[in-house]
Structures are given as C-alpha cells and as structure tokens.
Amino acid sequence: MDPLLHTLPESRGLCAFRELFEDTGWRMSVAAGSDHPEDILLSSDHGQAYYAVLKSFNEGRSDRVTALFAQALLEARVRAKKSHVRPAVLIWVGSASRSLVERLVDFHKEYGDGEPIAVLSMDGARYVQFPGLHFFERPDASTSSHRASHSAPPRLVFSDRFQWMLKLLLAVDIKREDLIAADPVRYRTATELARAAGVSTMTATRLLNALKAEGFLESTTFLTIVRRRQLAERWKAEYRKPALALPMKFLSPAAPDEQLRKLLKKETGFLGLFAAAKALGYGHVQGVPPTVWVPNLMAAEDWRPLRRAREAERPDLILQQPSFPQTLQRGVVLRDGVAVTDILQTWLDVSAHPARGAEQAAELEHGILANVIGDSA
C-alpha cells in the first residue's frame, strides 16, 4: 500500500496533489520522523526540497481556512527548519471561491516569505505558486456540479515539462540548429513526443489534449502548432512575475566580462536574457548587466569571486533562480564553452524585463523566431 495513502486520512486531497505534481519532476514522500500525518516532503529532480504541511477542509469558509492556512504556514516553517529545507503549504478544500483564494494570496503576500503554496479544491479551482508550476484556474461559472467539472475539456497550463514539450514541437521551425538543444524533428504521436521529452505518454497526451481543446494544435500526419501568435502571448504571460534575483559585483574590478566567462566555465550557471541574445547572435539591447541563471540562489551568492552589490552600486551581473528550471536547463546550448539559454527561453525571459525587454522580444519575434512564434507562422 502507498504509505502516503495509508498515513493520510485526507486521501482525496492527497490524490489531487499527487496528480498535480505527477510528471513535473517532483516526488512526494512522508516526512521522516514526523508525528504529523499531514506532513509531506517534496523533492525535485534538481535538488530542491520542501517540507509541506497539508491541510484539508470540507467547506470553504474564508475565515476558518485563512486561520488554518496561517497555522500551516507556521508549522511548515518550524518543521522545515529542523529538516534543513524550505517550507511549503498545501490546502485542499471542498469548494474554493475566487474571494477565498484571493484572501489567502493577500494574507501570504503580507505575512509570508515567498514560500510555495498550492490550493486545490473538489470543484476544480486551482491556485499554484510552486517552482515550475504557476497558475490560477477557476472552473467555468456555468459548471456548477462536480461531475460537470470533470467532463470539462483540459486546460492548457504552462508547467515546466509542458513548456519543454512545446519547445520540442516548435524546434523544427527554428532555422538554425545551434540555437536550442533539441532535435529539429516532427512528431506524429504523443508517444514519440513523450520519448523525446523524457516524460510519460500520459503527460504528453495531457498537453496535446489541452492544445487541441484550445485550438492550438492540428494533428494530421504530424503534430503541428497553430495560432502561434496567440499561444506566444499566453506563454509570455507566465513570465510576468519576476524571478528571484541578486545584484552582484566581482571582488576584483579587472575585466568583468572575462571574469564572468571564467566563472561560468567553473560553476553551474547559464547565461541568460540580453547577454544570451548577444551570445546567440541576436543581441539588440546594450548596457544591461548580464544575467546568470543558477539552480540555487543562496548557494550561488557564496561563489568565491562575488559579493553582493551595495545600494546604488551598478552590479557586474545579476544572479537569478528560474521559476521553470527544467525547460531552461534542457534547452541550453554552448557558446565558447559557456552555457547559454536557448533562443526560445531567451525570448521568454526578456519579454517581461522592464529595461527594453519588450523591444528585444519583438526583435526575436519578427526575426529569427518569425516562423516559430511570429505572425508568419
């Protein structure tokens, strides 16, 4: 018997969260040594780990749920500290109104510290802010019954692995082979796509069904993405929330560009945004400090050649931790021995940057990516 199902009385909530995290690179297990059956350890393929406290409610009264959400947050912080991981909160409710979710989000913004949270409900509402999973879904207002919500068509959610599969579907239309670490091939079936992406066939099928349901996929001889401009705008919207970032300086003032190159050859980091666009041969914006994507921001802050930039001090580089680490890391390419984000990831990342990001994104959309995500696709 599954130890989680055996331990947790809230099996419906547990199953919902298991389905949420399934095939997204996360594993769920009972927190070792815990006296609390609702405690779960979540760990990813990329070394991320969270101590999550799960709370379940049959009803969705906002006052009670908010109070117990606060309790769960405190419990998660204390227990996560003892386990040397970060805390997280999982909430399962019978019904989650928009006002309830917004109240929890507002509470978390005021009293939280960036902990991942997820709210799932029996009526189909889902709010998730987790590494690689960011969305807020409400069932159709006309869908009042639980049965109806189950029969509704799948919705397109830009999870980490879904984004990587989208890249695989689009890679064939990128006219240069060295801009993304993906083979330029066309896929006929979900099984072929799943094999290339390293996911289960069920996961690939969910993506394809969601794309078809929203009119973004034609399936004739090959799986073909259509209405790409509309899809691109939906995709870019997932990157509007800024990633965790730290402005950094080199301890030595000499030749920061050369120091950066040496640093990226030594440490696990990926050149991104405007610097990546330049390295790939499509740079348009100058004068912005280079961005380096890192798997763990806290660990990278201690890299020996670096220190935090002081207030009002121009940084030599920006360290950032990606919200979607798998799709970023799988697509990277090498330039002079330095890992650089792929052309699609670079476009996504710059699109929301406040310093001329829209300008750089437009250059890519109407240039090298015109036949991939632009109007001519």
pLDDT of residue 89: 95
DSSP three-state, residue 308:
strand
Provide the pLDDT for residue 53.
93
With bands split at pLDDT 50, 70 and 90, how would you rate the model's confidence at 154? low
The pLDDT tens digits of the residues spanning 273-321 come to: 999 999 999 988 888 899 999 988 888 888 988 899 988 889 999 999 9
Lowest mean pLDDT among 16-25, 116-125, 199-208, 251-260: 16-25
Percent of the chain exceeding pLDDT 90 equals 43
Q: Give me the CATH topology for the region 244-365.
A: Beta Polymerase; domain 2 (3.30.460)
Q: What is the mean pLDDT of residues 214-222?
A: 89
| pLDDT at residue 97 in the model | 86
Q: What is the pTM of this model?
A: 0.69
Q: Given this model, what pLDDT does residue 291 score?
A: 93
Q: Region 159-176: what's the mean pLDDT?
A: 92
Assign a CATH topology to domain 160-237: Arc Repressor Mutant, subunit A (1.10.10)
Strand ranges, E, within 38-196: 39-44, 49-57, 86-93, 117-121, 126-130, 133-137
pLDDT value for 9:
37
Domain range list for the chain = 3-151, 160-237, 244-365
Q: Cα angle at 316 between 315 and 317, to 5 degrees? A: 90
Name every residue whose Cβ is closer than 8 Å to that of residue 98 and which is 6 or more positions away in sequence. 125, 138
pLDDT bin (cut points 50, 70, 90) of residue 83 is confident
What's the mean pLDDT when you consider all of the chain? 85
**pLDDT given for residue 147 in this prediction:** 36
pLDDT category of residue 372 using cuts at 50, 70 and 90: very high
168 token code pair: 């695989």
Q: Say if 3-151 and 244-365 have the same CATH topology.
A: no
Is 149:122 a contact under the CB 8 Å cutoff?
Answer: no
More confident residue, 34 or 5: 34
Lowest-confidence pick of 8-22, 105-119, 147-161: 147-161
- Please say if the pLDDT value at position 270 is more than 60: yes
Please state which CATH class domain 3-151 belongs to: alpha beta
